[in-house]
Amino acid sequence: MKDRYLDFVNSPFGTSIARALGLPKPEVLRRHRADEAEFAGMAAIGAGPSPTLFDQLMRVLTGIGMTGIAHDSAPDWLALAHRRGAMSGRITPRAADSGSANRVHALIFDATGIAESSELHALYAFFHDALRSLAKSGRIVVLGRPPSTCASPRAATAQRALEGMTRSLGKEARNGITSNLLYVAGSADIEGALRFFLSPRSAYVSGQVVHIDRPAAAPASWTKPLAGQRALVTGAARGIGASIAKVLAEHGAIVTGLDVEAARDALDQTMLSIEDTSRSGGAHAALIADIAAADAPAEIAAALASAGGVDIVVHNAGITRDKTIARMTDDMWTSVLDINLLAQERIDDALLAQNLLRAGGRIVAVSSISGIAGNRGQTNYATSKAGVIGRVQSMAPVLRERGVTINAVAPGFIETQMTARMPFAAREAGRRLNAMGQGGLPVDVAETVAWLASPACANITGNVVRVCGQSLIGA
Amino acid sequence: MKDRYLDFVNSPFGTSIARALGLPKPEVLRRHRADEAEFAGMAAIGAGPSPTLFDQLMRVLTGIGMTGIAHDSAPDWLALAHRRGAMSGRITPRAADSGSANRVHALIFDATGIAESSELHALYAFFHDALRSLAKSGRIVVLGRPPSTCASPRAATAQRALEGMTRSLGKEARNGITSNLLYVAGSADIEGALRFFLSPRSAYVSGQVVHIDRPAAAPASWTKPLAGQRALVTGAARGIGASIAKVLAEHGAIVTGLDVEAARDALDQTMLSIEDTSRSGGAHAALIADIAAADAPAEIAAALASAGGVDIVVHNAGITRDKTIARMTDDMWTSVLDINLLAQERIDDALLAQNLLRAGGRIVAVSSISGIAGNRGQTNYATSKAGVIGRVQSMAPVLRERGVTINAVAPGFIETQMTARMPFAAREAGRRLNAMGQGGLPVDVAETVAWLASPACANITGNVVRVCGQSLIGA
């Protein structure tokens, strides 16, 4: 369809509005393709005083075939690289000025040793020199310490300040570049998170802060990290849910896709297409159930029990019934709360009571930017999605004892049948009011879910990761 | 100046964009005036099961001369009111339909007893019936329990869900209505927060979540709560700082206004105008210092020592030096970090080391929405303002031992000389992209600072309160 936004931003008034809001002109994002190398090229490395993650970083980069080149702020990097026999070099400021051949694919800054805000100057020096050298769809990753674990208020202050830097870089960078901050506690392993945030799989994830809190074992295979695992995906017939089912299968999982009777044909089709795609030989299954029904948890538990339990539960099913509250009917409130929030509680309780969620299990729940920021006409939806965040935060410590993680993804504007039916202006606004200047695709949400479901994410729990292209909208 | 936004939103394309974004048409906000009653009229009371704050709520409403009328969701309210001999009544759904005479001035919902998300239905029932009865510049206050203190994940989930409800109501309500959520721990006192959020002083504070964590004594006087206290305000010569100095003086404080040599005349003028306004007879003082200078903390400490110490420190001084990072000079980074963040640390350290900040002291630091969301061209500013949030969060537990609180205010778009110089489109966007559809005034920030500085706020620390008219922009 005609992109009327482009007409608007090129009109005299629209141009100035767009500049003021920092609305970017859309870039075609690089996404994961089976026939393209996931990682390649150079990562420029910067650091504040006493970086603590260089060893891990070098190991990861070497493992994925990227070359780490040092910025002046990271003098120890070259020594480390030479000691390890790795290819290395030195980044020159304005390498970008000499042409795109010299561009780097990632800028990684180890800020974990920064203990005073004056030392944040090293971030300025690095990004000032290096940002223009970053290729299209490049990646910015800043590594810090969780402020709550810092020894002094001054260190906590400096670490918390990294958020302002990382989010500002995401809004400045354009060209499909993402910028994310990882708070790494103690000796936590960063490989799972680094691989995700450096890969095209995180194309639409920017401006996020992720907490990594402990060691985690690498999966047997990085290409099929979910091999042999059973996953349940609710609302799997169409849209985001169907994409989640497909991507989990591509990562090796055997998927039980659940949806309501009315979506039976679509669900069957989705599950069949997964068989074709994955060639995993696993027994993917379609399960018809209405998660709002009282007996649904027992039905689901029975189905999973016969499959020997479940490793990954993705609470994706959700509905909207938008209306301002004075016009909202009782049923619109109750059904949205029931399906989007209460059903998740009932299903998890049933699975946990019967010990069907195996050790090392993963729960990933779909929240929404509306649950973070609230939204006009969505008191019911925003309340349910804020509740999903509450679930993730309050269940995380409880589930940790079982070796189970629980996290949420919060999609922004994602191109689906649902958004295609939105009024023109709402759709355009949703598409453009983010740092990528475009809507995301269901696969962007699915890749994020698959990452959080992976064994390497044993050390990420209680997090909410927005998949929103760094939407302007928030709280 | 001509309000070109109004032309835009009334053009065919602009109308649909405005509807989609939920951009409201501006309403003249009711603000505090010495010659007008601060509180009056009726507050409609709703509640979930087992509300715990009715007694306090009744006491506060009686104290400020408001009548609490009950909604069906709050059957215990009428009984309580009758027992206390208070005027009371019952709200009828759609009272609004019978004319503005029946409108209520506040909707207050006690959700503290809600332990299951199904019980959130009581909020739907109350706001569905009552929202249209709310007068212009009316107030919505929801009272909940901090999710982290809840006995079960289900209770924590339901309490966390209140955020989605409160923020959505703020975006729906229009007409200068604000909507805020107070998380009240245990037997904490709510009077200070309730008075602020019910009054015209909070005109531009909406969509906020404030944590109240313990009992707090009422001030000797609610009209001059800062009587006899000494306050330091940095950057006091103009704009927001000048307004803070004035409002603190109106609340009874004796103010030391600080600014740089170049602003000496403006500072003198501001401090003189305060003498006139407050008639407090207190020895307001102008202090010339460059907070970036190495000897400034000692100078400030000496000045305050000669005044016998200080009760309230407001870190307002700040600068912007906007530029994308590749074009940002070293000095633009360093000066912004130094003045906006490091100077706060140095000054507080000097005051604390010399015991000049008295017990019961208050620190209020000015952050920014840029510090929360990041901003293009403001890596330096956003980093410094995110650091301010880090300071508040990390210093709060340390200062608690001294009986001192530390909080931040984060202004959104505020009408000042600085914003008047912004390019037209940026200014208009900043003004409109919030639930109030307009920029705030310096006094809105100042009133929020004065509230956080008050004795009644002894139980609010480590909070960040946005003064942004519920800006769409966030993280």
pLDDT in tens, B253-289: 999 999 999 999 999 999 999 976 555 556 899 999 9
Q: Do B164 and A382 touch (CB under 8 A)?
A: yes
Residue B25: DSSP 8-state = P
pLDDT for the residue numbered A86: 79
Order the strands of the B67-70 sheet from edge to edge: B88-90, B67-70, B42-47, B104-110, B134-144, B178-184, B209-212
Range with the poorest average pLDDT among A176-185, A279-288, A338-347, B168-177: A279-288
Give residues 273 to 302 of A whose Cβ lies within 8 Å of B. Answer: none
- Contact status of B372 with chain A (Cβ, < 8 Å): yes
> Which range among B27-31, B82-86, B369-373 has the greatest average pLDDT?
B369-373
* Record: contact A132-B326, CB cut-off 8 A: yes
Hey, of A177, A325, A347, A470, which one would you mutate to test binding to chain B, going by the most B CBs within 10 A of its CB? Answer: A325
The reply to whether B5 belongs to the active site is no
Q: Which backbone phi and psi does A230 adopt, to 5 degrees?
A: -95, 130
Nearest CA in chain A to B173: A376
pLDDT (mean) for A20-36: 83
Ranking A78-82, A231-235, B287-291 by mean pLDDT, the lowest is A78-82
Q: What is the per-residue pLDDT across B234-246, written as a single tens digit (0 to 9) for each? A: 999 999 999 999 9
Inter-chain residue contact B168 with A131, CB threshold 8 Å: no
Lowest mean pLDDT among A122-126, B12-16, B265-269: B12-16
Q: Which residues pair with B257 in a beta bridge?
A: B233, B286
Look-up of token digits 């202090």? B287
Contact B395 A153 (CB under 8 A): yes
Backbone dihedral region for residue B449 (phi beyond 0: left; psi -120 to 50: alpha; all else: beta): alpha
The alpha carbon of residue A190 is apart from the nearest alpha carbon of chain B, in Å, by 23
Given a cut of 60, is residue A314 above it in pLDDT?
yes
Q: Under DSSP, is residue A253 helix (H, G, I), strand (E, B) or coil?
A: coil
Backbone angles phi, psi at B15, to 5 degrees: -60, -45
Q: Do B22 and A391 touch (CB under 8 A)?
A: no
To the nearest 10 degrees (0 to 180), the angle between helices A343-353 and A379-400 is 20
**Phi/psi of residue A133, each to 5°?**
-85, -5
**Does the CB of B123 have a partner CB in chain A at under 8 Å?**
yes
Confidence of residue B455 (pLDDT cuts 50, 70, 90): very high
Q: Is the dihedral of CA A134, A3, A374, A380 positive or negative?
A: negative
Report the pLDDT averaged over residues A36-49. Answer: 95
Q: Do A164 and B379 touch (CB under 8 A)?
A: yes
- The reported pLDDT for the residue numbered B2 is 35
Residue B1: predicted pLDDT:
35
CATH code: domain B230-467 is: 3.40.50.720
pLDDT at A124 over 90: yes
Q: Give the mean model confidence (pLDDT) for residues B6-17.
A: 65
CB atoms < 10 A from the CB of B343, how many? 23
Interface mutation vs chain B, best among A15, A375, A381, A394, most B CBs within 10 Å: A394
The pLDDT value given to residue B123: 98
**B390/A147 Cβ within 8 A:** yes
Contact A120 B428 (CB under 8 A): no
Chain B contacts in chain A segment 223-252 (CB below 8 A): none
**Using CB atoms and an 8 Å cut-off, which of residues 394-433 of chain B contact chain A?**
394-395, 398, 423-430, 433
Contact between A441 and A204 under an 8 Å Cβ cutoff? The reply is yes
Mean pLDDT of the region B333-358: 98
Q: Are B347 and B338 in contact (CB under 8 A)?
A: no
Distance between A132 CA and the closest CA of chain B, angstroms: 7
**Among the partner residues B19, B342, B429, nearest to A21 by beta-carbon distance:** B429
**Nearest CB to B161: which of A163, A166, A390?**
A390
Q: Which of A334-338, B424-428, B433-437 has the weakest average pLDDT?
A: B424-428
Element (H, E) at A411: strand A405-411
> d(Cα A10, Cα B16) in Å, to the nearest integer?
18
Residue of A nearest to B391 (CA): A157
Q: Residue B371: closest CA among chain A residues belongs to which residue?
A: A164
The residues facing A471 across adjacent strands are A434
Please check whether residue A84 touches B, CB under 8 A: no
Query: Angle at Cα B162 formed by Cα B158 and Cα B168, nearest 5°?
Result: 140
Contact A165 B345 (CB under 8 A): no
pLDDT tens-digit map of A441-471 = 999 999 999 999 999 999 999 999 999 999 9
| Averaged pLDDT for residues A12-28 | 73
Total residues belonging to chain A: 475
Spatial distance between the Cα atoms of A61 and A68, rounded to a whole number of angstroms? 7
> Distance (Å, rounded) from C-alpha A46 to C-alpha B325?
15
* CATH fold of the domain at B31-212: Rossmann fold (3.40.50)
Contacts of B375 in chain A (CB under 8 A): 22, 168, 171
- Residue B283 has what pLDDT? 87
Check for a shared fold between A31-212 and A230-467. yes
Residue A151 touches chain B, beta carbons under 8 Å: no
CB contact under 8 A, A19 and B425: yes
Taking contacts as CB-CB distances below 8 angstroms, the residues of chain A near B372 are 474
Q: What is the mean pLDDT of chain B?
A: 92
Chain B residues closer than 8 Å to A207 by CB: 374, 475
Number of neighbouring beta carbons within 10 Å of residue A163: 28
Residues of A in contact with B475 (CB under 8 A): 163, 167, 207, 474-475
Q: Residues B373-385: pLDDT tens digits?
A: 999 999 999 999 9
B63 vs B69: CA distance, rounded Å: 15
Per DSSP, helices labelled H in A65-209 are 75-83, 121-130, 153-173, 191-198
Task: Output the pLDDT for position A6.
Answer: 47
Q: CA nearest B149 in A: which residue?
A: A394
Q: Is the pLDDT of residue B95 over 60?
A: no
- Per-domain boundaries in chain B: 31-212, 230-467
- For residues A99-122, give the mean pLDDT: 92
Tokens 């203190």 belong to which residue?
Answer: B149
pLDDT of residue A428: 85
Q: Does A378 touch chain B (CB under 8 A)?
A: yes
Spatial CA neighbour of A368 closest among A292, A315, A313: A315
Give me the percent of chain A exceeding a pLDDT of 70: 93
Q: Judge: B147–A394 Cβ closer than 8 Å, yes or no.
A: yes
- pLDDT band (50, 70, 90) for residue A280: low
The token pair that represents B371 in the structure block: 């510090």
Predicted-complex ipTM score: 0.94
Closest alpha carbon within chain A to B23: A376
pLDDT of residue B425: 83
Which pair of tokens denotes residue B70?
Answer: 């009950």
CB contact under 8 A, B168 and A8: no
Task: Answer whether B398 sits within 8 Å of A153, measured CB to CB.
Answer: yes
How far, in Å, CA of B288 to CA of B300, rounded? 9
| Amino acid at the residue A267 | L
Query: The pTM is what?
Result: 0.94
Please list every residue in chain B whose beta carbon sits closer than 8 Å to the beta carbon of residue A320: none
Average pLDDT, chain A: 92
What is the predicted pLDDT for the residue at B417?
86
- Measure in Å the smallest separation between the Cα of A29 and chain B Cα atoms: 20
B102, pLDDT greater than 80: no
Which of B178, B325, B398, B422 has the highest number of chain A CBs within 10 A, making it the mutation to test binding with A?
B325
Segment B146-199, tens digit of pLDDT: 999 999 999 999 999 999 999 999 999 989 999 999 999 988 999 999 999 999
> A21 at the B interface (CB within 8 A)?
yes
What are the angstrom distances between the C-alpha of B473 and each of A156, A362, A382, A398, B430?
Answer: 25, 32, 17, 33, 10
Average pLDDT over residues A172-181: 96
Tell whether B168 is within 8 A of chain A (Cβ): yes
